[in-house]
Amino acid sequence: MVDPFLNIEIIKSEKKRLEVFMGVLLSGLAITIVVRLFQLEELKITFENDRSYITLMAAIALMNGFIFLSRSWVIRVLRSGRRLTKRYFWLTAGMEVMIPSLWLVVVALEEQSAYFLDSPAIFMYFVLIIVSSMHLNFWISAAMGLLIGVFYAGYTYWVTTSYSMTYNLPIFIFYVRAAVYVIAGVCAGLVAMELRNRLSATHQHMQEKEEIEGLFSQQISPQLVKVLKEKKDYTARLEAVLVFLDIRDFTEKVQHLSPEEVNEFQNHFFSPIIQIINDNKGIVNQIMGDGLMATFGVPKIDNLYPQYAWKAVESILMFIEQFRKENKEHQLLDVGIGMHIGEVLVGNIGTDTRKQLSISGKAVIVASRIEQFNKELNSTLLMSGELYQLLAGEIGNYKSKSSYKLKGIDEEITIVQII
């Protein structure tokens, strides 16, 4: 069964092939008309019977009509998401060989001459073989070359034995040309096969790349994925909002659960929270067993990242409330959330074989300590005074506001208790 992607590419290639061939035919028609208008005497030498010219125009018109109908059908198939059948390919290949071949037979009978054995019209077969490679099918191109070669050899034998004339080349050269048509068909088939294989390999590579990017996007935001794609050694100093969330007494709650049950709980609890963070243009930097760290403003899209962070935290608190109601065994589940704003260093660090996105700086430590301070204040949501100043309009009232000395931080930090 043909891969859906490859099927679409085959149909697109067929559409382009028909358009190329139609352009060649229209160019031939234009040349024929110009010769008719301005080189009438030379044309009369070529066509002693005026009906031969008419049959030429009719053959070109018939071929163009067939190509136009084929293109219309291909467009319908492409829009409907269907596949082009093998019958279609073999029918078009047969018709494209049959129409010019039929004209050569008719014109030879009309002119009672073997003149067209070496006329420019013969080279139309090479055009047919060349564009047949766009079928992306070895057997169609090879069969077309074989069909043309067999016809041309038979045509050579027929006209050279039926009509006497002086040839510029030895007769066997025409049989060599028939063999060349066969070889050209095989070569076109090999090109078609190589194009098909390369197309499949490219698609597979793209799929693997998209899968990797998809896995990467689960860890960081699509915006940052784009930045890292453009600049692999990305490093920047940015002001960002940092959010730490921790499940209180997590070890106590899960000590009687199996590893599978713990994993199921973590997925059930953290998956919606991660989605909320992603929806509000945040990045989940770390997922620990009992908590996570997220940043907003990396990369900097606009100046609203404090608002995005607050909106995300509000949504997370609403989700946790709903989670408690829907899961009776987790009615007493409690969390601590710490928020802070400050300068961080964002960098894709590591070796050539292993790199990791790192977000570091004093602001990260401060945000972590603020979250941990929830235990001291028996609170749920704390944030730094700097961040509250930016969000006072959205948050409104708070429970308390004081300066505290945090572990590992030299200066006192103003902490605002929201919940």
pLDDT at 217: 56
Q: Which residues pair with 357 in a beta bridge?
A: 348
Q: Tens digits of per-residue pLDDT, 44-70?
A: 555 666 677 778 788 888 888 888 899
d(CA 223, CA 233): 16
pLDDT at 265: 83
Is the pLDDT reported for residue 186 higher than 80?
yes
Q: How confident is the model at residue 188 (pLDDT cuts 50, 70, 90)?
A: very high
Q: Tens digits of per-residue pLDDT, 82-112?
A: 888 889 989 988 898 998 898 888 888 888 8
pLDDT at 352: 62
Q: Work out the average pLDDT over 227-249.
A: 79
Q: Tens digits of per-residue pLDDT, 151-173?
A: 999 999 998 888 876 667 788 88
Q: How far, CA to CA in Å, does 319 sit from each of 244, 245, 312, 332?
A: 16, 13, 10, 14
pLDDT, greater one: 276 or 234: 276
Q: Which of 306, 228, 323, 232 is nearest to 271 (CA)?
A: 323
Is the pLDDT reported for residue 253 higher than 80?
no
Q: Work out the average pLDDT over 300-312.
A: 87
Q: How confident is the model at residue 332 (pLDDT cuts 50, 70, 90)?
A: confident
Instruction: For 9-27, give one letter per residue: b (16+ CB within 10 A) or e.
Output: bbbebbbebbeebbebbee
Q: Which of 252, 241, 248 is nearest to 283 (CA)?
A: 241
- DSSP 8-state assignment for residue 410: S
H or E segment and range at residue 345: strand 335-350
Give, in degrees to the nearest 5, the angle at Cα 190 between 186 and 192.
115
Q: Which of 2, 60, 52 is nearest to 31 (CA)?
A: 60
pLDDT at 384: 92
Integer Rg of the chain from CA: 38
d(CA 360, CA 378): 28
> Considering the chain, what is the average pLDDT of its residues?
83
Which pTM was predicted?
Answer: 0.54
pLDDT, greater one: 222 or 54: 54
Q: Tens digits of per-residue pLDDT, 342-382?
A: 999 887 666 666 566 678 889 999 999 999 999 888 899 99
Beta strands in 351-391 (DSSP E): 355-360, 381-384
Q: Which of 151, 166, 140 is nearest to 104 (CA)?
A: 151
The crossing angle, in degrees rounded to 10, of helices 86-111 and 124-132 is: 180
pLDDT at 354: 59
pLDDT at 227: 64
Q: How far, CA to CA in Å, does 373 sit from each of 18, 229, 411, 414?
A: 72, 38, 15, 12
